[in-house]
Every structure is written in structure tokens, then in C-alpha cells.
Amino acid sequence: MELRQLRAFVKAAETLNFTEAAKALCVTQSSFSQSIKSLEEELDVTLFHRNSHEVTLSQAGTELLPFARQTLQQADNCVNRMNDLLNLRAGTLNIGVTHSFSLLMNETIMLFLKTYPGIKLNIFYKTMGELMDMLVKRELDFALSFKPTVSYPQIESHMLFDDCLSAIVTKDHPLARHSSVTIRRLAEYPIVLPSKGLQARNTLDAILCRSNMEITALMEMNSVNPLLRLVRNSKFVTVLSSASIETYPELCAIPIDEPEATMTGSFHILKESYKKEATKEFIRMLCETNAIKDKLHSWIDG
């Protein structure tokens, strides 16, 4: 049994499409199909049921999948460990970031690239659900976001700092005089919101649902920076984490006075996966930035 066979099997199980799986692994379809066939012959089982319309996992394939993933993860751990012996002089770090968390990253990215020029950073800005899926598929080393509102059994999360959902306005806005604001008061002002699926919006929607209230937005955006620029140049209100205005001194954040408004900045890794030295170093640098250190939780360097 070879690792290339297991990689082919896992990718085929994820896509249930041999053409798409072969393309993802950058091999020809004939070579890919031969890897699957060889694995089936070696194990003396049928791993997939195939017909002209679809590919499905057999019972044997379903049983093999978690063991194949575990074997590939252990193999990747070996490679990662060897790369770490280079003292962070080479390698790749794949980081997932939610849009709400993105503005806290700039200082750390610049410092890390300057300190470790031999390590390539691949940064993916996605929704929480997309990042968790990428972690499970081992496409990310870790993800940075606020704590999700649902449980992900295969993911372990570590708290970094506490934050809160806030009304974001200019410093001369009427709300800027208040130390906190209720949802009912917020609804009295023209508002623009982050799109559904972004973490701040998910938190707001949960509060609205509990309160049996609605807020009508004039506009929704799926990116935080344009949303903040719009608020900066208008009298609109938006709702984001207070940390989102770190690089916008013209704006202020008024905490929303609701029990569910707490947001916890966290990093997430796949359970039982090897944590790269580069991961630990990036998180250490992040915790020492001005954007984070005043809100910092202790976290375990495992």
C-alpha cells in the first residue's frame, strides 16, 4: 500500500468524481484510476461503486476512509517535522482567516515575512464554515476567527482574546456619545451590515432571533474593509467586532448591550495534528501585536 494510492482514494471519496479528483492531484485520469484499482486489488475489496451516472463509496470504502486520512495525516506530520529541522528557513504555512478577523493580521504578516523570508505564506479569506471544511481536509495549518457558534468535533479551538459585537460609527455620530447601545436603539439609525455568513452578522442574527426583532439594512457587504470605509465617509452605522476598527482611528466602537454580544478571538487546528513550529511562531507574533496584546488570553503551547 502506497501513500499515493491512499491520497487518490481519499480525494476520490471527497469528490466522488474521478476526473475532478485526478485534476486536483495533478495526475492523468488513467494514472488515477490505476491507483484506485491497484489499492482495491491489494486489499481485495471494492472501494467504490461505479456506473455511468455516479460514483459512491462502498461499505469497505466507508470503513477505510478514516484510517486512510489518519495515515496521510501521520505521513504529513513526518514531513512537517523534518521541515521544522530547517529552523524555519523553508516551508509553507497555510492560514485561514475570516473576513471579520482580517484587519488584525496585517502587522503580524509583515513581521513574519521579514523575520522568516524562506517561509511562504498562503492566506485564505473565507467564511467560518469554509475554513472548518478546509481544516478537516488538511488544506490549512490553522485558522483564525472569532469562536464559532456551532460545534466542530474534529477541530480544537484555543482562545486568544475577548471582544464584543459593537455598533461602528464615526466619532461625531450621535451614538458615539454612548458607552453601550441596545439593539432597539440601533434600529433607529440607517444601517449597513456585513453579509450573512460572516461571523459578526451571525452573532447579530442570533441576538435578533432571541429578541424577536428585525433590522432592515440599506446595504450588505461581504468584505469588512469596504464596509468600514463606507461608514467612515457617511453617517451610516454598521455592526462588527470592536477589534475590526484597529486600523481606522476615525471610527469608534460602541458595545452592543446584549448577553450574546461577546465574541472570542480564537485559533483553530485539526485535532491530533502536528502543530508546525511556524504555526507557533506566527501565533506568538500575533499575540504580541498592539491589536491583540491588550485583550490577550493565556494559551497553551502544545
Predicted local confidence at residue 161, as pLDDT: 85
* Per-residue burial over 201-221, b = 16 or more CB atoms within 10 Å of its CB, e = otherwise: bbbbeebeeeeeeebebeeeb
- pLDDT per residue as tens digits for the range 20-76: 999 999 999 999 999 999 999 999 999 999 888 899 999 999 999 999 999 999 998
- pLDDT per residue as tens digits for the range 208-261: 998 888 899 999 998 888 999 999 999 999 999 988 888 899 999 999 998 889
d(CA 298, CA 296): 7
SS3 265: strand
- Identity of residue 109: I
Say which DSSP state 28 is in: -
- pLDDT per residue as tens digits for the range 154-179: 999 998 888 899 999 999 999 999 99
Say which DSSP state 262 is in: E
The whole-chain average pLDDT of the chain stands at 90
Give mean pLDDT, residues 107-120: 93
Cell matching residue 271: 485535532
Contact assessment for residue 47 and residue 57, using Cβ atoms and an 8 Å cutoff: yes
pLDDT tops 70 at residue 301 = no
Cell matching residue 200: 459578526
- pLDDT per residue as tens digits for the range 182-214: 999 998 999 999 998 888 998 999 999 988 888
- Identity of residue 214: E
d(CA 20, CA 13): 11
Predicted local confidence at residue 300, as pLDDT: 36
Q: Residue 34: exposed, middle, or buried by beta-carbon count in 10 A (0-12, 13-18, 19+)?
A: middle
